[in-house]
A and B are shown apart, each in its own frame.
Chain A
Amino acid sequence: MMMYTEKVMEHFQNPRNVGQIKEADGIGKVGNPVCGDLMTFYIKVKDNRIENVKFQTFGCGAAIAVSSMVSEMAKGKTIPEAMEITNADVAEELGGLPKNKLHCSNLGADALHAAIEDYQKKTHELEQKTEKPESLPKEKPEGAECPYCEGPIEGMEEYCTSCQLELTECPECRKAMEKDAETCPHCGATRIRT
């Protein structure tokens, strides 16, 4: 299929690290507000290094390939290194993703980071530390890009120039959302269809 790169198709067909880890040190569950994909990442940490990663994914070919790639990229990395894995890195390692599938790469990185945060929370609790764990930097400010394909949006355009979706401003959070969408992908505000 021309839509996906060979690398994506290879990971989709032979996904690495599928499954669960019993007694995982961290579990990250994320869901995609755009299309309803779900991902769960499990990590086992030893000496501040990700010793093992497993994932479960409900989603399209891109979501499965992204999960597999993220799991490979994270394995063996230290916690700070793994936290630095970005959506863009994952997409690049896969040789690119179709624009309307880029949000799948967000999901992969988010699930991994959520698992790490879960691990950090648990270890902090174990060490009885009361101070708040360092907040993790957000990669990009939201709203400056199309929430569906991540194409850049300058100001409030009527269309995303990348994926051609009709956009409008969410009445709640003022960020860009699809014109006909019932739910804002940023803040989850539901609009009543007229």
Chain B
Amino acid sequence: MTMKRVYLDHIAGTPPSLQVREAMRSCLEDGVGNPQSLYAEGQRARQVVDESRAKLAALIHSRPDEIIFTSSGSEANNLALKGLALARHNQGDHIILSAIEHVSLIKAAQSLEKSGFKVTRVRVDAQGMVDPDEIKRALTPGTVVVSVMSANSVVGTVEPVREIAHICRSRGVRFHTDAVAAVGGIPVDVEALGVDCLSLAADQFYGPQGSAALFLRKGVKLVPLLDGGVQENGKRAGTENVPGIVGLGEAAALALEDMDGRGKRMRALRDRLIQELPNRIEHVVLTGHPESRLPHHASFCIRFVEGEGMLLHLDMNGIAVASGSACASKSLKASHVLLEMGIDHTLAQGSLVFSMIDDTTPEDIEYLLDVFPPIVEKLRRMSPLYFEYLEKLK
């Protein structure tokens, strides 16, 4: 008998929903042409791409022609930061980003540093929250771009993007937000937020992997990363990933349709886990902001144990989760997000991230709550840190 799997790693990617798979399958089976071709097959392909563009635009409340399809959130982030900075290089050479940005933005900023830009990394508080006043203080006359994420995938904190966008706009500075973790999970309205540029990825809301997009406000100049054809308004060369774009459009339509219901269901599961886990296991610390957080996101540090060990045991019990511990990462570095929040290396080693998906049931959460405490107990029984702690109690 195969064990039922409980997938609680939304942040690594959500499984494509049935409707998304069906839309993509029929797109592949239709054998659509190249959207740039002038004959009927090409025009049909262009039509499905345009329909998807409109669906995505409706989700984030943009115009369809403000959407640039890309291959990943990382590509969208690179295109945004490098593209906006280079487009304004004649006006200044200063970039601001938060210290807990995704690695694609951190590395993109490093690469801009090598070509002469100066980068300020704004610290966050213990809940992973960026203070808009800190952004204001970091602004200089030479600042050309500010980038602050909408929500953090490691700790779930939802950032005050609207306030930061407002500050930037009033100073004439371009503002980009990495909304990969947020779009599809919480309402994201580019008009209401007032952002110039926003990254999103289909695999965070039941669309396919390898399909993402950048919103670029009309009139905002951006230097493309890829030179080539006229696709995506000349902003992103290369033949369109038509099935991927169709999947993204379908996922966007479903997200818009069920935004409130999805949020409500996720929040109930999340709150149950956040409330009950500390009752079942001692010495559990919630990471991230207690209220301003993603509805599908519950993250903790479990004292005296290491994340990869917990992850492996949970996997053997059919549960898939993520960890920000050093050991669980290929680079053997604890998540920079946890360290930036002032969590020490030892506590960061106990990081676990539970992120729910549409299929997650209340029973799944109860199963996790039953299975998890003995795992922690087992690992604590062999932990020298736990024994040190017990010795001190005596």
What residues make up the interface of A, taking CB atoms closer than 8 Å to B? 1, 9, 12-13, 15, 18-20, 29, 34-40, 55-64, 100, 103, 148, 165
Smallest beta-carbon distance B99→chain A, Å: 11
Closest Cβ neighbor of B383 among chain A residues: A58
Q: Is residue B382 within 8 Å, beta carbon to beta carbon, of the partner chain? A: yes
Instruction: Find chain B residues with CB under 8 A from A20 CB.
Output: 387
Known: A34-B326, A60-B308. 13 other contacts (CB 8 A): A1-B315, A18-B382, A35-B332, A36-B334, A37-B327, A38-B385, A39-B384, A56-B383, A56-B384, A57-B382, A58-B306, A60-B309, A61-B312
- Complex contact B346–A36 (CB within 8 A): yes
Closest Cβ neighbor of B382 among chain A residues: A18
Name the residue in B305, B306, B313, B349 with the highest tally of chain A Cβ atoms < 10 Å from its Cβ: B306
**14 A-B residue pairs with CB within 8 Å:** A1-B312, A12-B309, A15-B382, A35-B327, A35-B349, A36-B326, A36-B345, A36-B349, A37-B306, A55-B382, A60-B308, A61-B309, A62-B327, A63-B327
Q: Is residue B272 within 8 Å, beta carbon to beta carbon, of the partner chain? A: no
Closest Cβ neighbor of B381 among chain A residues: A18
Q: Name B374-388 residues within 8 Å CB distance of A.
A: 381-385, 387
Closest Cβ neighbor of B106 among chain A residues: A180
**Binary flags per residue of B295-313, CB closer than 8 Å to A gives 1, else 0:** 0000000001111110011
What residues make up the interface of B, taking CB atoms closer than 8 Å to A? 304-309, 312-313, 315-316, 325-328, 330-334, 345-346, 349, 381-385, 387
- Complex contact B346–A29 (CB within 8 A): no
Instruction: Find chain A residues with CB under 8 A from B328 CB.
Output: 60
Give CA–CA (A62, B306) in the complex, Å.
11
Instruction: Find chain B residues with CB under 8 A from A61 CB.
Output: 308-309, 312, 327
Instruction: Find chain A residues with CB under 8 A from B349 CB.
Output: 35-36, 58
- B315, B326, B382, B387: the one contacting A35 at CB < 8 Å is B326
Smallest beta-carbon distance A183→chain B, Å: 10
- B306, B313, B325, B331: the one contacting A165 at CB < 8 Å is B331
Instruction: Find chain A residues with CB under 8 A from B304 CB.
Output: 58
Smallest beta-carbon distance A101→chain B, Å: 8
Instruction: Find chain B residues with CB under 8 A from A34 CB.
Output: 326, 332
Closest Cβ neighbor of A148 among chain B residues: B332
- Complex contact A40–B315 (CB within 8 A): no
Instruction: State whether A64 and B382 are in contact (beta carbons under 8 Å apart), knowing that A1-B315, A58-B349, A59-B306 are contacts in the complex.
Output: yes
- 9 closest pairs, A vs B, by CB? A60-B327, A60-B308, A56-B384, A35-B326, A18-B382, A40-B384, A35-B332, A58-B383, A61-B312
- Complex contact B384–A57 (CB within 8 A): yes
Instruction: State whether A58 and B315 are in contact (beta carbons under 8 Å apart), knowing that A36-B349, A37-B306 are contacts in the complex.
Output: no
Give CA–CA (A80, B305) in the complex, Å.
33
Give CA–CA (A111, B330) in the complex, Å.
24
Give CA–CA (A148, B384) in the complex, Å.
23
Give CA–CA (A129, B84) in the complex, Å.
73
Give CA–CA (A12, B309) in the complex, Å.
8
Smallest beta-carbon distance B305→chain A, Å: 7
Give CA–CA (A60, B328) in the complex, Å.
7
Instruction: Find chain B residues with CB under 8 A from A12 CB.
Output: 309, 312
Instruction: Find chain A residues with CB under 8 A from B333 CB.
Output: 35
- Complex contact B345–A58 (CB within 8 A): no
Give CA–CA (A29, B326) in the complex, Å.
20
Give CA–CA (A83, B279) in the complex, Å.
45
Instruction: Find chain B residues with CB under 8 A from A60 CB.
Output: 306-309, 325, 327-328
- Complex contact A38–B381 (CB within 8 A): no
Give CA–CA (A3, B73) in the complex, Å.
26
- Complex contact A59–B309 (CB within 8 A): yes
Smallest beta-carbon distance B32→chain A, Å: 36
Instruction: Find chain B residues with CB under 8 A from A18 CB.
Output: 381-382
Give CA–CA (A60, B349) in the complex, Å.
9
- A9, A13, A100: the one contacting B332 at CB < 8 Å is A100
Smallest beta-carbon distance B150→chain A, Å: 26
Instruction: Find chain A residues with CB under 8 A from B381 CB.
Output: 18
Instruction: State whether A58 and B385 are in contact (beta carbons under 8 Å apart), knowing that A1-B315, A12-B312, A37-B306 are contacts in the complex.
Output: yes
Instruction: Find chain B residues with CB under 8 A from A62 CB.
Output: 327
Give CA–CA (A165, B330) in the complex, Å.
10
Smallest beta-carbon distance B363→chain A, Å: 25
Closest Cβ neighbor of B323 among chain A residues: A60
Smallest beta-carbon distance A14→chain B, Å: 10
Instruction: Find chain A residues with CB under 8 A from B334 CB.
Output: 36
- A9, A57, A148: the one contacting B383 at CB < 8 Å is A57
Instruction: State whether A64 and B309 are in contact (beta carbons under 8 Å apart), knowing that A15-B382, A18-B382, A58-B383 are contacts in the complex.
Output: yes
Give CA–CA (A13, B316) in the complex, Å.
10
Give CA–CA (A35, B77) in the complex, Å.
29
Closest Cβ neighbor of A56 among chain B residues: B384
Closest Cβ neighbor of A165 among chain B residues: B331
Instruction: Find chain A residues with CB under 8 A from B316 CB.
Output: 13
Name the residue in B334, B382, B383, B385 with the highest tally of chain A Cβ atoms < 10 Å from its Cβ: B382
Give CA–CA (A63, B305) in the complex, Å.
12
Instruction: State whether A56 and B387 are in contact (beta carbons under 8 Å apart), knowing that A36-B346, A63-B327, A100-B330 are contacts in the complex.
Output: yes
Give CA–CA (A193, B301) in the complex, Å.
26
